[in-house]
Amino acid sequence: MKKKTALIISAVLAGSMAVTLCGCDLFGGNRSDSSFAYDGAVAGGYHGTEAEYMADQDTPSTAERRCYEAAVANGEFSGTYVEFLKQFRNTESSDGQTVNQALTSVVCVEASFSGATSRGSGVIYSLDRLSGDAYIVTNYHVVYSKDIYGRFGLSNKINVYLYGGETSASAISATFYGGAMSYDIAVLKVTGSQLLKSSSATAAKIADSDSVTVGERVYALGNPNGEGFSVSSGVVSVAAEYISVLRADERETLSLLGIRTDTAVNHGNSGGGLFNANGELVGIVNARREQTNDGTALYGFGYAIPSALVAPLVQNILDHGGNAVAAQLGITAQVTDSKGVYDERTGKYYIEEKLVVNSFASTAGAGYNAGLKRGDTLLSASIVSASGTEKTVQLTRLHMLSNLLFEIESGDTLRLVISRSDEMQTVSILFNQSSYFKTLV
């Protein structure tokens, strides 16, 4: 990779930046509220324990877990997930087949600039084999040169290579379609490739990264050191944290959400995939932390942008002709409290955060106009589209709200369930003004 990560910033600051326009505190607020998302669910009629509630929000992220859930649902097993594994998995399973399947969705990326070449990786997001068309996601810094400012810094000659086809004769021409430098995500487009038509390439299967488990096996597939395809393995070290990195043009320091892994991540892995044991994409590899403040070397600090952010962001870029257009709440929200909740049934330790409105950008913002107040605790969010479809997310982690903003389109309504002075309320925000959206750099 071309960048080093800087120090990891505090959770409160990172969370505030994740959903903010700016951070000025213009208005007074309410008294402190004691509610977490679970408390809001109970007030709404939920009858399970807090551990059961957290597990209910979880999408099983391994084949074994899915088998366990099915066995419990069918009345074939009544014990815990750990007991299920002890009974039915006597030997360490091999992930070779699923990793090989994942390789069909990974590419090497070569971006040329005047006098220089950047080598990285990419993941096929969508593929039309009949036409030979594809969209590929990679890191912005793979296809951008900091020495040439602005959009002129983007490479005008990009080639991608499929597994087994890493020679000049097998180069597939791609163009920069769009992206968001502020999230280090770029989308490449391939049109009418005969090599794609006759290849074994597939689009990646995307998993819910919010369901990854600390200690879960993961694999980094990419182009380390620019020497061709390679696979490295490890575990999820931290499921979600914010890190500080330089933007591709090195003119700004970004706060980026990442999955930390001890999987070997090296120069050239940038833009490649972090896959789970089922061969499903859980993140786009983008950084590693190489040293501490005093220069002491660090090992096993690799990062990937979670798929729960990548998927809606990439789709947003495709839907807006290459630009990333994010809905803006016009608030800063921060984590004021958090706790660990262990579920004995699934054997998983969850983190539940308390999300509180801290300040407003102005009196013209979407959140302020809808009636949000400083001190409101955010419990759940639902996007109700103009056509009537609805998607609801329980806000157990702050990044879930910021990720959701990429899915809001003009005419949609965001319905927030909040707790204000320990009383549950619903605030509806209609995104019907152009000022409620921002095109990202």
DSSP string of 306-365, one letter each residue = EHHHHHHHHHHHHHTTT--EEE---EEEEEEEEEEEEETTTTEEEEEEEEEEEEES-TTS
| Token pair belonging to 416 | 């927030």
Q: Is 270 a catalytic residue?
A: yes
DSSP state of 105: T
Q: Are the beta carbons of 135 and 125 closer than 8 angstroms? A: yes
Q: Is 141 a catalytic residue?
A: yes
C-alpha torsion sign, points 46, 49, 51, 52: negative
Neighbours of 32 (CB within 10 A): 12
Please tell me which residue in 35, 39, 141, 210 is annotated as part of the active site: 141
Please tell me which residue in 270, 359, 402, 419 is annotated as part of the active site: 270
Please tell me which residue in 39, 58, 184, 210 is annotated as part of the active site: 184
Q: Are the beta carbons of 51 and 57 closer than 8 angstroms? A: no
Q: Are the beta carbons of 80 and 347 closer than 8 angstroms? A: yes
Alpha-carbon distances, residue 40 vs 32, 57, 350 (angstroms):
15, 14, 17
Residue 82 CA to chain centroid, in angstroms?
Answer: 28
What SS3 state is found at 181?
Answer: helix
Please give the Cα distance from 332 to 275 (Å, whole number).
Answer: 32
Cβ-Cβ contacts under 8 Å for 206 (sequence gap 6 or more): 280, 281, 307, 310, 311
* Catalytic residue set: 141, 184, 270
